[in-house]
Amino acid sequence: MADLEVYKNLSPEKVERCMSVMQSGTQMIKLKRGAKGLVRLFYLDEHRTRLRWRPSRKSEKAKILIDSIYKVTEGRQSEIFHRQAEGNFDPSCCFTIYHGNHMESLDLITSNPEEARTWITGLKYLMAGISDEDSLAKRQRTHDQWLKHTFEEADKNGDGLLNIEETHQLMHKLNVNLPRRKVRQMFQEADTDENQGTLTFEEFCVFYKMMSLRRDLYLLLLSYSDKKDHLTAEELAQFLKVEQKMNNVTTDYCLDIIRKFEVSEENKAKNVLGIEGFTSFMRSPACDVFNPLHHEVFQDMEQPLCNYYIASSHNTYLTGDQLLSQSRADMYARVLQEGCRCVEVDCWDGPDGEPVVHHGYTLTSKILFRDVVETINKHAFVKNEFPVILSIENHCSVQQQRKIAQYLKAIFRDKLDLSSVDTGDSKQLPSPQSLRGKILVKGKKLPYHLGDDAEEGDVSDEDSADEIEDECKFRLHCNNGTTEHQVESFIRKKLESLLKESQIRDKEDPDSFTVRALLKATHEGLNAHLTQHPDVKESGKKSHGRSLMTNFGKYKKTTKSRSKSYGTDDEEDAQQPPSKEPSPLSRLGRRRKTMKLCRELSDLVVYTNSVAAQDIMDDGSTGNVLSFSETRAHQVVQQKAEQFMVYNQKQLTRVYPSAYRIDSSNFNPLPYWSTGCQLVALNYQSEGRMMQLNRAKFKTNGNCGYVLKPQQMCKGTFNPFSGDPLPANPKKQLVLKVISGQQLPKPPDSMFGDRGEIIDPFVEVEIIGLPVDCCKDQTRVVDDNGFNPMWEETLTFTVHMPEIALVRFLVWDHDPIGRDFVGQRTVTFSSLVPGYRHVYLEGLTEASIFVHITINDICGKWSPLILNPSYTILHFLGATKSRQLQGLKGLFHKNPRLAASDSNPHSMRKRSLGDRILRRTASAPAKGRKKSKTGFHEMVEIKESVCEPAREPDGVLRRTARSLQARPVSMPVGRTLLGAWPPAPAVAEAAEGKESPPVQF
């Protein structure tokens, strides 16, 4: 965002002139891929938060949030502009807006250069203001925007007023289930102007505040204020020390909180914090579940590189799938600014001697290598200065390799010079601190036996450079008779084959796309591609004379030999006879093909030399990077976990997704982090559970892309898959009280949208880490209340290695036939802070859950059954370790074998007829009845599709059901809030975190 600095200091006159023009609207041509331009009226909304246009078939969806804009470029710089003839449009009238997670482009053409200049200036001014906000200012701004947009959407007739019927409809949309008389009472109290019967926006804000008053926070305030309706500075300090576990709390600090959050001028004058100010403070970033100190780099950055997990991207240049999507240099800027520190560049020979970057043997678009390097150089160190690793996948001829080396040296310059880096030990890798501002080139290095005078030589070509399966490749057809029908037929066969035979099944929650859905989308993308490029039919054009190399015969022969894993990742695996499954080490040791490498490129590789897989047996050298596909890595992790961990204490290992993930889906990174793998590369363009885990992992330590591995992984060794991997170390106990929820929306994929039923939410908490720590538990369901549901339930977990554990909060909407995903937030265990905290759901403006967190140390002898009730009945019966670990193998298999407890009919608990009738799906606990924790085997089972809810595994130990409690009513509002409060004992119990029956009003 360095280029935005100049826009922060624009004169007010110029800013207002730009805003006025943009809000009035400008007619522009919107260019679309493969279609003629469309004339639309583009305008900035009155709140200056989103860009809109009309007419549009998308209606309400025809908008771009200013928050989502990544970059605005002037002139004809985008790919769509490049496809237009040179003289079609004046470059000074053209500009492009890049927005969203996939860097979508909006390409616009104005009627004159002045209009284009006005829009570019105005948009960059708005972006600069957002980039300069602190977390508190951003939360306040997004809250204000949310209120305005909520009001506007509720105002159906557009008169700037809400009548009572529109208000009732809004209540339903917000998942509020209050009696109509209660809504009318609040409506009348808020309606104070002369125009009775309607609410202005200001009156709506009062109405919303009345509706949002919270019983849980009011009880908390009363417990520390001696039953007054406000907190003094001393009482606030006591709350922060006792509940929030804050040290060095001073009176001045508390007075600053009052000045910042209190809304009443009278309370400010008295230096007290009322309920509205206390609510604002509790919902601020200061009381977020994530430790605010971890927003900055706080870990030791002086240790060798191999002691850190490093945020890594796979196929960084792609915006989508690996067959048809676009390649963009801007993707490097995006992932680098997100904190990624290892990016991948697939280099191929291009026309006119210029190397290009794209996914080989596919229909992905090509970008110039020079543009990629310039983008990396510009954005590598904008957010932090810790080193960037450039993973070069070299497919080029020696001539173009020399061009690659020239560009790297000319553009990066002294960033490549590592001569001054002091490692302190010749057998030790340098630290991130000593490499600040440096770019490491990861690639092949010429063998030492060739001597320094050799200009080129042969090196092994086993890296992820040839990660595309042979039957996935597009090649130029030998005769020029290819037709559109043949190309489409070949690709359809490939996609259908993958659907039927691929060993990949993405272990995602339903909040992410399944492989099946994404393959379908890829199929649809192919149809669009062929429709937009009718010249495929022209047999004389080599650029479109493609066919799919279909080795289905060979592929099918080896299907059975692959059935025990996801699928292999290179041609050698495909050629392996099906009768014998090779061991990982024999497979790693096979002779591989070679390629020519030039000296200039080889000399740029210093500490990150890509080595052959058989070099997992440490030869004492330093600076090697071992690359595995997820399939190969899985085999090593399963059979040589401790040896692998020792290797990763001295060298770097990179794990990348399987070749069969043509949809750019992601694998579970936890098994590889658990054995110390540093560079676990994911497809950053693909949202979903796995990227959420990755994002949570690296958000800590200032999101700098480097997170220190646990000390036990840096020295010594242990078995991460053991039932008690670190018996001498104290465990951590997480006691989590899930109190309430706030503004939980309807599920994003709800069939009926806002008109659907009011949700029945419940919260699921999942611990993700070492296999022994993986478990989940959930609250009961609250009926018909997504606005302020009250659970007040305590969940307890025990964690053996908190340094790598993640805590995942999920909110679901219970449904009689399953459950619908509402939202999630994932946080590293080490970044949790104790006390009363709000967990804001990722990507949702106002939605949160309110929890109380306590973390205890557990030492000495322990019983897994007592400390972690999520353990399966196998532990209770004393099952062997091998049986316990059968479920773990399911992490990597399409159809994991049934666990011993599932295959043994005697271990199945016989159910009564009534129990069978009352039994719900495993997606939600029965209403008013506590559901058992998820067992170890359920954790590793793979769901076949989103439509099939996971079933409860028989044999899972069930916790003793608590007596049914009366479900809390919706939170009291209006004047009754200050009325009959519970007696002192109930208040005291609430303050101490004890469970007490809900209070009725």
Which one-letter DSSP state was computed for residue 773?
Answer: T
- Residue keyed to tokens 């935005």: 4
The backbone torsions φ and ψ at residue 722, rounded to the nearest 5 degrees and listed phi first, read: -75, 160
The backbone torsions φ and ψ at residue 628, rounded to the nearest 5 degrees and listed phi first, read: -130, 145
Q: What separation in angstroms does the CA of 888 have from each of 39, 527, 712, 764, 941?
A: 56, 39, 22, 21, 9
Rounded Cα gap, residues 131 and 124, in angstroms: 10
Q: Give the residue among 978, 758, 976 at the shortest CA–CA distance from 185.
A: 976
Q: Give the residue among 42, 13, 188, 182 at the shortest CA–CA distance from 111.
A: 42
* Omega before 55 within 30 of 0, i.e. cis: yes
Is 314 designated active site? yes
CB 676 within 8 A of CB 312: no
Rounded Cα gap, residues 374 and 372, in angstroms: 5
Contacts of 425 (CB under 8 A, 6+ apart): none
Residue type, 437: G
Contacts of 61 (CB under 8 A, 6+ apart): none
CB 798 within 8 A of CB 733: yes
3-state secondary structure of 21: helix
CB 518 within 8 A of CB 475: no
Q: Please, is 551 exposed, middle or buried when counting C-beta atoms within 10 Å of its C-beta (0-12, 13-18, 19+)?
A: middle
Which one-letter DSSP state was computed for residue 313?
Answer: E
3-state secondary structure of 34: coil
Contacts of 365 (CB under 8 A, 6+ apart): 79, 326, 327, 358
Query: The tokens of 535 are what?
Result: 């010249």
3-state secondary structure of 451: coil
3-state secondary structure of 14: helix
Q: Which of 99, 102, 314, 379 is flagged as catalytic?
A: 314
Rounded Cα gap, residues 602 and 452, in angstroms: 11
Query: The tokens of 985 are what?
Result: 């004992």
Is 358 designated active site? yes
Chain centroid to CA 858: 32
Show the 3-state SS of 160-187: CCEEHHHHHHHHHHCCCCCCHHHHHHHH
Which one-letter DSSP state was computed for residue 327?
Answer: B
Q: Which of 99, 102, 230, 358 is flagged as catalytic?
A: 358
Q: How many CA atoms lie within 13 A of 683 on its CB side?
A: 23
- Alpha-carbon torsion, ordered 101, 379, 315, 309, to 10 deg: -100
Q: Where are the alpha helices (DSSP H) in 790-948?
A: 864-867, 873-877, 881-884, 886-889, 900-903, 913-918, 936-940
Query: The tokens of 351 are what?
Result: 């026309």
Neighbours of 804 (CB within 10 A): 26
Q: Give the residue among 159, 79, 655 at the shortest CA–CA distance from 327.
A: 79
The alpha carbon dihedral of 372, 378, 381, 387 has a sign of: positive
CB 112 within 8 A of CB 23: no
Query: The tokens of 618 are what?
Result: 């440490």
CB 894 within 8 A of CB 883: no
Q: Please, is 787 exposed, middle or buried when counting C-beta atoms within 10 Å of its C-beta (0-12, 13-18, 19+)?
A: buried
CB 805 within 8 A of CB 828: yes
Active site residues: 314, 358
